[in-house]
Structure 1
Amino acid sequence: MNFADKTKHNWFIVALILSNILIYVTMLGFNILASFPINSTTKLFPTDAGGISDDYFIEVTPAFWVFSAVWSIIFVWNALWLIYAFINIFRRLKDNTLFYRKFDFLNFGIFIAFIVNNLSIIAWLFLWSNKFIGWALLLIVFCVVPLNVALFIFYRKFDECKEDLKKHKMIVDLVIIRILPQNGLATFATWLTLATNLNFATFLAYECGAEQDVASTLILFIILTIALVYFVIENFIWQRYLLYNFSPWFVINFALLGSVIKNYDASNPSRNNIITIILLIITFLLAIGKMVLFILYKTSCKRFANRKISHINQTEEKSKIEA
């Protein structure tokens, strides 16, 4: 792409940003309609979304306030990065280059994937509130996939842009990008992954005839496996891309804590009560491990950079003396 192209608007990207905002607001509206009992008598949503958990008891379901808090955080967090994307439409650099065309970290693929996710969530609300548990499970899995696609595209594109952002002294933007789209999308994906597991347990217990406690145990081990695999990936395989991902650990620990508070029976703890507490301890330790590895990585990189600069300076001084 030449310089002249980057001074002109890409109307396809602009249309995608505006479409994202419109569809996101629509998705929020449907979530509000599906969340309040006053709408449970309408044909649109026969049962409020939260009431389904009462009808289909799962021993590891977090307390209601966990759902309210996390969904509120997700909605606000992702709204903020969409607002940031909208503002970037009007930003130009000193050479008149459009900011969003120079720095392609919010690629068109991200916006398309996010639109697919939002539309899928709207469809899931209808299926879930009408108690089509099996179809709802299939659709919530489909909700998670485009979010992960969006994150994959974002990580690669942001990695390509971050050095250029540093050269242009866009330090504030670096911080905003890591906080808003990176951790905002990661929070959304983590929560939907947990919700998928709860939906799976509901399907096993109430559609497939499995014992509720067995289904609960199964998803706890699935969550443990996901947490361990993710810890290895983010710290030892894709650290370059996932170094600043912190929100997934907050989400999983908060959800497990809410599950313990709601379901733990101190007088007669069940198998799943004990497993949930053990899982909470493990994920808490993994979160601490993430922070420790982050600090070690940043400090070691800083030392390496200082040694490299010192070596360059010494080489330049030696060359001057020899000259």
Structure 2
Amino acid sequence: MAEHNKLLIAVMILTVVVLIVTLAFNGASGVGPPLFKNNTGVLSRKYPTGITPSSWVFSIWGVIYTWQCLWLLFAFINIFRKTADGPAYVSPMILPPLLFIAYIFNLCFNTAWIFLFGNEHIVLAFVALFLIAFCLYICMFIAYRNLYRNGPLLQKQGRNIEIWMHRVLVHNGLGIYATWTTIATLLNVVMTMVYGATPGVGIEDSGTVALGILTAELAIFIVSDLFFLDNYSRYTVTPYMVVCLALGGSIDKNWDETKTNSIFSAVLLGIGVTFLVVKIIVMIWRHIRKPLYPTEIAPTTAGIKA
């Protein structure tokens, strides 16, 4: 029978502490001095990119952090739940210490980005944002792999609802965070090219480069998600939603039918919306016709107790 894992509990607690610190600095960044030269809103206006979304889009941060709190709460609740094989969080261990360590690094880079961007270190801020997204993709890889490997055991234990909690809270929670920081990284690519390089590149050309990178990333993501990673990512839909939101917000703020990047963004938005619909249809069809586990359409909580 599995026993409590002290290392895992310790890194989970540390994750919560670091998250609280990160949230505190995020809140302070909206104020500005004395910690930062300017608040993030002022800096976004000071360093325009031509493709930055409208200010209302950035309220997604509230959704992102709420989702992070929910999946962490789910992880902590499992410490106090029991199965016939031991504590639920280690029987089997789906969210291991390595995932939380990678997540802590993401939070540290998040805080670093707040200070770097708030004090106008544009190039270093770009590096920090890239590392945030990189750490989150590591977390997603671990979460996907472990649920896929241990899903049959969870089902055997009658924990189908828990499988869904991983899909909805953990996978989609990490997905919305990783996708948004990926897009934010591309915005920082433009800032780096225009304001951090010597000589700087034009805003329109830099925006085209960023949208071109987004196109390549979107193509790779869609193909891999629908055709190669279905067993892992079938129920992760938030990346598609974030792309549509970001592009819609960009068009809302920057639309000019005479500019290439406006047309480019509109085409990408059309592709994003189309494949969001395709993703949902394919997900439902495969869930009904090709379920990953034989009886998961009828979830149960048998075999587990508080």
AA aligned opposite 2:71 = W
Aligned pair partner of 1:108 in 63, 79, 97:
97
Task: Name the CA distance, whole Å, in 2 between partners of 1:293 and 1:90.
Answer: 36
Distance in 2 separating the partners of 1:293 and 1:92:
35
The alpha-carbon distance between structure 1 residues 83 and 215, as it changes in their structure 2 partners (threshold 3 A), is: same
Separation in 1, partners of 2:142, 2:27? 30
User: 1:124 aligned to 96, 113, 118, which one?
Assistant: 113
Identity %: 30
Asked if the contact 2:215/2:268 (under 8 Å) is kept, the reply is yes
Q: Is structure 2 residue 194 aligned with structure 1 residue 205?
A: yes
- Give a deviation string over 1:259-314, Cα, whole Å, max 9, x none: 1111113xx53211111111100111121221222233223326x969xxxxxxxx
Letter in 1 for 2:28: L
Look up the match of 1:35.
30
The alpha-carbon deviation at position 82 of structure 1 amounts to 0.7
Q: 1:14 aligns with which of 3, 9, 12?
A: 9
Aligned to 1:160: 149
**What TM-score does the superposition give when structure 1 sets the normalisation length?**
0.87
Q: Does 1:50 align with 2:45?
A: no
Larger Rg over CA atoms: 1
Show structure 2 runs of 5+ residues with no match: 296-306
Q: Which amino acid aligns with 1:160?
A: R
2:86 partner SS? coil
Amino acid aligned to 1:165: L
The whole-number CA distance in structure 1 between the counterparts of 2:147 and 2:96 is: 9
Counterpart check, 1:184 vs 2:152: no
Is 1:72 the counterpart of 2:62 in the alignment?
Answer: yes
1:264 aligns with 255
Q: 1:150 aligns with which of 113, 132, 139?
A: 139
Q: Deviations over 1:118-166 (max 9, x none)?
A: 0111011110011110111111111111111111111111111211111
Q: Offset of 1:64 from its aligned partner?
A: 0.8
Say whether residues 1:89 and 2:79 are aligned partners: yes
Native 8 Å contact 1:104 1:158 kept in 2:
no
Alignment coverage as a number of residue pairs: 292
Cα offset for 1:103?
2.1
Q: Distance in 2 between matches of 1:294 and 1:184?
A: 18
Go from structure 1 to structure 2 and tell me whether the alpha carbon gap of 1:201 and 1:117 turns closer, same or farther (over 3 Å shift): same
Give the structure with the larger helix fraction. 1
- 2:246 aligned residue (255, 275, 282): 255
Query: 1:305 and 1:110 mapped to 2: Cα distance?
Result: 28
AA partner of residue 189 (structure 2): F
RMSD value, Cα: 1.6
Partners in 1 of 2:224 and 2:37 — Cα distance? 42
Q: Greater relative contact order (Cα 8 A, min sep 6): structure 1 or 2? A: 2
